[in-house]
Amino acid sequence: MAVLVLQRAIFWVAVSILTATQFSSAQTLTITEGVQLAFPGSVVERKTFFLNDEQKEEARRLAGENIPIDNNLVIPYIAHTDGNPVGIAYFDAHRVRTLQEVIMVAVDTEDRVIRIETMRFQEPPNYRAPGRWMAQFENRKLDRDLSQKGDIATITGATLTARAVTAAVRRVMALHAVIDPL
């Protein structure tokens, strides 16, 4: 009887550890942590832009076919060093398969992607895009090659993640071009 009680206790401890591990893997970075990774030591200013219908349509055109832009609100985080802007961070929330992912896309003052970070990923961990794959977006501008039909590779076993991240980067870059926050 004591062995059975011990086995049950061990089982529930294991279940608790696995659940806690899965929950903690969903939340990876806060907004402040992400912006500081992209722009260490900078002062960050949060701005708010409201898109009018023409801006929204232009962003849709720039983002490309099948990339939704439904929200009229854009919130860039503008990083300054010594009073000069050094870049902008944007946060994009989207669905991967059935659950949400949030990524940060950091853009420099030359309109190039300089960093992408996964802020929150609620899908199973094996579907998460690895850092090495995310690095292929660095130094890219919004153009035809910023797509999986262009220079962006897919991820074997995580095709939906690759599509979602690529679409998010294109969406962010299109919104960045339209609002021109600097």
19: in domain: no
The pTM of this model reads 0.84
10: in domain: no
**Which pLDDT score is estimated for 76?**
98
43: in domain: yes
> C-alpha angle with apex 55: 138 to 105, nearest 5 degrees?
20
4: in domain: no
Give CA–CA dist 97/130, Å, rounded: 17
Report how many domains make up the chain.
1
CA distances from 6 to 15, 16, 178 (A): 14, 15, 62
**Which pLDDT score is estimated for 87?**
97
pLDDT, averaged per 10 consecutive residues of the chain (182 residues), comes to 43 37 58 94 96 97 93 96 96 95 97 96 93 95 94 90 96 97 90
54: in domain: yes
Concatenated DSSP letters of the chain: -HHHHHHHHHHHHHHHHHHHHHHHHHB---HHHHHHHHSTT-EEEE--EE--HHHHHHHHHHH-TT-----SEE--EEEEETTEEEEEEEEEEEESSSSEEEEEEEEETTS-EEEEEEEEE-S-GGGSPPHHHHGGGTT--SSTTSSTTTT----TT-HHHHHHHHHHHHHHHHHHHHH---
17: in domain: no
6: in domain: no
Residue with tokens 């797509």: 147
164: in domain: yes
* Domain of 94, in residue numbers: 29-179
